[in-house]
């Protein structure tokens, strides 16, 4: 590990010198004067004074050498559509989208909210915002109207870009009624809504400010929009992530630091080379999609594959056929998808020519040993785990194969990436833990380039949420338990807060609780994350009903359980729907009134909750046991 350790140590001991060299990977319209401004901890400003543009680095600068290379390959098994865009064609589409946005009043510093399915226009819109110097905020298309309204009010967009519908597993999801409801709920009045008409569903938006994209695209077909050269620390995008309160946090990302960090990660972690093809099976609206479908592959001169569909439709061999057909070199997905694919006919994988594939990368949730062993043996290719967060923007733990091909260790996503000064700390004292000792995973100041610069519109929340929870230390808390071995490998042991990880998607249990509490029948509710063999975790809700409804007959309670799950669908989208709604007469609490969520989760997983000396009423635990009945995990 000598080369990695020396390299990593240099990035920590002298970050200014290290990142000055890395900054050469991107184009700077104006050189930066200061590599790192540490004058206002815990805030850090990278490449101060430098002016650059993410769209120029992702597209324009490649035109001289790779104009005719595919930049984007789009495949939808939902609609049967496949499209290829060279760098030159992508450049044209981005300019058209940027011209349309500009004609609707979008200017530098404005926010554009993008609520789109996995279609090329989502990528066009993100890069058009970057070109104009606008700030995009992509909201995952599965989120429901109240969820969308909350983001509209927080981001205050000058424009919303949406589509008539998305498609998933053969089902069409109408977007315009959701957008319409969100706009009626939101206090902020968005001037324009731009509609991409896929002709999957009738556009049912009553807003008078709806604008169709296609006619404007034709009007601006040959227009060239110059790039806005942004100071490195200006915001590039806001991406909302669930937190421990009902209000989602807007993770704000910069421009220059993000571009440099992604460019470095493509060599040091993913070993991506110009001309390679990368397939990241995620969605825009989640950070993996932002970083490794859109920005990083294009900045590095690769072809990126964008996929709309599931891993098992039309059958469980579709992803492997994509590898063969498009000669994919790098593939990135989540363990959940592999657990689904593991159940498919093994002949489907064997039928595909996977010789082009060099490496499979995984992130989003812990990789379990049976899945890791299965996919490693089935592919006979390197399978590389990594760990990061929406907040960091790129992996903080990985196997740095581009620096040194360290061995993998089952259960561990790897060692700290360059720039990350990572320490496992005692939750009570803040002191570093010994090797093999469980603690809270923390990052020392300053965070490396590419990490969040603040919470959108709320610097105080950035400090109070991330930098104030570890005793006696001003360090960044990941809110994850971990343990680090003597070789530096870290194993993630779960969350310290009330965020759960469902199929690689972070969901706040408080948000689900608030949705359930909005139902008139609910008196109290607790939502916990329960381990699941496919999704990693699922949400399970424990509900105390009001008055007479608490004593209803079993059929009425079953009807209510379905109705409550549907309520979550309406508020947050189906991705947050509890796997089970359990009716109880009381919830386990401490004497101070705090819900004992960990004890509830233990019972739901068939474990004993251990000694709980502060419990208000031990009978509440028995209530949970009895209510779970045969549904408790064994």
Q: Are 362 and 383 in contact (CB under 8 A)?
A: yes
Is 618's pLDDT higher than 60?
A: yes
Is 467's pLDDT higher than 90?
A: yes
Q: Are 455 and 253 in contact (CB under 8 A)?
A: no
Between CA 76 and CA 82 the distance in angstroms is: 6
What is the rounded average pLDDT of the residues 378-394? 95
Output phi, psi for 28, to 5 deg: -115, 120
Detail the DSSP E strand segments found in 202-325: 210-212, 230-231, 237-241, 249-253, 277-280, 303-308
DSSP 432-488: BPPTT--EEEEEPSSPPTTS--EETT-HHHHHHHHSSSSTT---EEEEEEEEE-TTS
State the chain's mean pLDDT as an integer.
91
Share of the chain above pLDDT 90, in %: 70
Nearest 5°: CA angle at 485, between 479 and 491?
40
What is the rounded average pLDDT of the residues 77-99? 98
Rounded to a whole number of angstroms, the CA Rg of the chain reads: 24
What is the rounded average pLDDT of the residues 468-492? 94
Share of the chain above pLDDT 70, in %: 94
β-pairing verdict for 277-280 and 303-308: parallel
Structural domains present in the chain: 2-419 (3.40.50.12780), 503-631 (3.30.300.30)
pLDDT at res. 370: 80
pLDDT at res. 628: 86
Which candidate, 581, 594, 588, places its Cα nearest to that of 619? 588
Is 57's pLDDT higher than 70?
A: yes
Question: What's the predicted TM-score (pTM) here?
Answer: 0.84
Q: Is the peptide bond before 218 cis (omega within 30 degrees of 0)?
A: no
Residues 6+ apart with CB under 8 A from 45: 36, 37, 232, 233, 453
Q: Are 432 and 274 in contact (CB under 8 A)?
A: no
For residue 634, name the pLDDT band (cuts at 50, 70, 90). very low
What are the percentages of helix, strand and coil residues in the chain, rounded to 5? 35, 25, 40
Detail the DSSP E strand segments found in 338-407: 359-362, 383-385, 397-398
452: tokens are 């969040």
Residues 6+ apart with CB under 8 A from 542: 525, 526, 527, 528, 582, 584, 587, 600, 624, 627
Is 322's pLDDT higher than 50?
A: yes
**CB atoms closer than 10 angstroms to residue 40:** 9
């Amino acid at each position: 590990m000598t080369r990695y350790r020396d390299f990593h140590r240099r990035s920590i001991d002298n970050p200014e010198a290290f990142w000055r060299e890395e900054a050469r990977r991107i184009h700077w319209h104006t050189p930066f004067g200061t590599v790192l401004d540490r004058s206002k901890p815990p805030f850090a400003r990278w490449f101060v004074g430098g002016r650059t543009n993410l769209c120029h680095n992702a597209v324009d600068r490649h035109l001289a050498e790779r104009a005719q290379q595919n930049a984007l390959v789009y495949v939808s098994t939902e609609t049967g559509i496949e499209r290829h865009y060279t760098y030159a064609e992508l450049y044209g589409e981005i300019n058209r989208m940027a011209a349309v946005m500009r004609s609707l009043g979008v200017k530098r510093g404005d926010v554009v909210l993008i609520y789109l399915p996995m279609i090329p226009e989502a990528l066009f819109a993100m890069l058009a915002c970057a070109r104009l110097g606008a700030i995009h905020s992509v909201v995952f298309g599965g989120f429901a109207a109240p969820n969308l309204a909350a983001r509209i009010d927080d981001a205050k967009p000058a424009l919303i870009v949406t589509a008539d519908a998305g498609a998933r597993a053969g089902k069409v999801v109408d977007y315009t009624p959701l957008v319409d409801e969100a706009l009626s709920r939101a206090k902020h009045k968005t001037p324009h809504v731009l509609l991409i008409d896929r002709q999957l569903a009738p556009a049912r938006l009553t807003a008078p400010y709806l604008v169709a994209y296609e006619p404007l695209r034709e009007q601006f077909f040959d227009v060239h929009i110059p790039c806005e050269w942004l100071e490195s620390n200006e915001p590039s995008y806001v991406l909302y992530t669930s937190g421990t309160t009902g209000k989602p946090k807007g993770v704000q990302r910069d421009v220059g630091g993000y571009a440099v960090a992604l460019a470095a990660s493509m060599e040091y972690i993913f070993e991506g080379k110009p001309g390679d093809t990368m397939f990241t099976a995620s969605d825009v609206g989640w950070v993996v999609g932002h970083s490794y479908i859109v920005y990083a592959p294009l900045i590095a001169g690769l072809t990126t594959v964008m996929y709309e569909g599931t891993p098992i439709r039309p059958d469980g061999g579709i992803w492997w056929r994509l590898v063969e057909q498009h000669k994919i070199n790098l593939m990135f997905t989540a363990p959940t998808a592999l657990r689904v694919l593991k159940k498919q006919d093994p002949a489907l994988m064997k039928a595909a020519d996977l010789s082009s594939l060099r490496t499979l990368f995984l992130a989003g949730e812990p990789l379990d040993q049976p899945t890791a062993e299965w996919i490693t043996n089935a592919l006979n290719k390197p399978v590389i785990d990594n760990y990061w967060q929406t907040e960091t923007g790129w992996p903080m733990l990985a196997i740095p194969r581009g620096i040194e091909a360290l061995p993998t260790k089952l259960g561990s996503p790897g060692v700290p990436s360059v720039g990350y000064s990572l320490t496992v700390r005692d939750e009570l004292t803040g002191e570093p833990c010994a090797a093999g000792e469980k603690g809270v995973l923390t990052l020392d100041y300053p965070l490396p380039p590419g990490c969040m610069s603040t919470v959108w519109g709320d610097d105080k929340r950035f400090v109070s949420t991330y930098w104030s929870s570890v005793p006696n230390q001003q360090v960044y808390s990941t809110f994850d338990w971990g343990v680090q071995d003597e070789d530096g490998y870290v194993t993630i042991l779960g969350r310290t807060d009330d965020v759960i990880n469902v199929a690689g998607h972070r969901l706040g249990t408080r948000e689900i609780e608030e949705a359930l509490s909005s139902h008139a029948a609910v008196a109290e509710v607790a939502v916990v994350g329960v381990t699941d063999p496919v999704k990693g975790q699922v949400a399970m809700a424990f509900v105390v009903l009001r008055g007479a409804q608490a004593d209803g007959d079993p059929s009425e309670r079953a009807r209510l359980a379905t109705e409550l799950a549907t309520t979550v669908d309406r508020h947050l989208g189906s991705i947050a729907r509890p796997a089970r709604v359990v009716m109880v007469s009381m919830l386990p609490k401490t004497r101070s009134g705090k819900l004992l969520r960990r004890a509830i989760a233990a019972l739901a997983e068939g474990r004993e909750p251990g000694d709980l000396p502060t419990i208000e009423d031990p009978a509440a635990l028995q209530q949970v046991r009895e209510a779970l009945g045969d549904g408790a995990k064994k």
